[in-house]
């Protein structure tokens, strides 16, 4: 499942995985973890060589929730719990350039493929259907208007006690959309055979139902083809 920031991928992906009994894996947390670690260690985001070296050295673990604080998973960086730290505004601003670095993508895509090849995975990101698993059985591109995505992200930030204005969040999202879609390596775009789902006017449960319907049709088609 691919799509831009705040399109609902994490929430929908987690619920779909739970309904199917699959592993939920948000690949974006890996890029956020590298970004957070660079900022934490005073490594300039624009220093591609240093950030790439960090990506190869950093031990990132994504585990089931270890604390009942609303998290969907626990993210560890060299053993440190950074689950909420990677959602800070400064990480939001730095993650797009970090994820555009070829070496960083090489380091993290290898880990993503290793996990996905075990099967039974709902993998969420920005290049899953185009780069990580172009042979995936079901590809969803989840989208929504920039304004609706900004409203969602703004509500999330306020709920976590972070101060931010809607206008700032909207501007950051539009800036990040531009960076993600124009980068030379693995730009954000739907795979040619992806099903595009616009969640702008849909509830979470309506989107989940739509995705599950797409999955069910794919399973039925595979069974008929196999027969």
Residue matched to tokens 């220093």: 47
Contact 150, 203 (CB under 8 A): no
pLDDT of residue 62: 84
pLDDT of residue 102: 93
In this predicted model, what pLDDT tens digit does every residue of 200-217 receive, in sequence order?
Answer: 999 999 999 999 999 999
The answer on pLDDT for 224 being more than 80 is no
User: Which of 214, 211, 218 lies closest to 12, judged by CA?
Assistant: 211
Contact 52, 104 (CB under 8 A): yes
Could you give the 3-state DSSP secondary structure of residue 3?
coil
- Give the Cα separation of 164 and 69 in Å (integer): 21
In this predicted model, what pLDDT tens digit does every residue of 188-202 receive, in sequence order?
Answer: 999 999 999 999 999
The domains of the chain are located at 9-226
Contact 77, 85 (CB under 8 A): no
Could you give the 3-state DSSP secondary structure of residue 139?
coil
CB atoms within 10 A of CB 186: 19
Q: Compare 110 and 38 and report the one with higher pLDDT.
A: 38
The answer on pLDDT for 227 being more than 60 is no
Beta pairing partners, 8: none
Residue matched to tokens 């088609």: 221
In this predicted model, what pLDDT tens digit does every residue of 12-44 receive, in sequence order?
Answer: 999 999 999 998 889 999 999 999 999 999 999
Q: Grade residue 226 by pLDDT with cuts at 50, 70 and 90.
A: low
* Whether CATH 3.90.1150.10 fits 9-226: no
Our CA dihedral for 208, 118, 195, 6, rounded to 10 degrees, sits at 60
Percent of all residues in the chain with a pLDDT value above 90, rounded to a whole number: 71
- List, in order, residues 6 or more apart from 193 with CB less than 8 Å away: 129, 139
| Cα atoms found within 13 Å of the Cα of residue 186, Cβ hemisphere only | 25
């Amino acid at each position: 499942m691919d799509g831009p920031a705040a399109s609902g991928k994490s929430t929908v992906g987690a619920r779909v995985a739970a309904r199917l009994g699959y592993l939920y894996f948000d690949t974006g947390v890996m890029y956020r973890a590298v970004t957070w670690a660079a900022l934490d260690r005073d490594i300039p985001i624009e220093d591609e060589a240093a950030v790439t070296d960090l990506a190869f050295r950093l031990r990132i673990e994504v585990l089931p929730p270890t604390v009942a604080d609303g998290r969907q998973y626990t993210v560890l960086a060299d053993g440190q719990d950074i689950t909420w730290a990677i959602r800070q505004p400064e990480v939001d601003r730095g993650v797009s350039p970090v994820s555009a670095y070829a070496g960083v993508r090489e380091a993290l895509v290898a880990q993503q493929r290793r996990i996905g090849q075990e099967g039974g995975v709902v993998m969420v990101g920005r290049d899953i259907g185009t780069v990580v698993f172009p042979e995936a059985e079901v590809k969803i591109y989840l989208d929504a208007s920039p304004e609706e995505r900004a409203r969602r992200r703004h509500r999330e930030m306020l709920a976590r006690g972070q101060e931010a204005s809607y206008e700032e969040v909207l501007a950051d999202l539009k800036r990040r959309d531009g960076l993600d879609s124009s980068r030379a390596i693995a730009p954000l775009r739907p795979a040619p055979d992806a099903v595009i789902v616009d969640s702008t006017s849909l509830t979470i449960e309506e989107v989940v139902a739509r995705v599950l319907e797409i999955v069910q049709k794919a399973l039925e088609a595979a069974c008929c083809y196999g027969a």
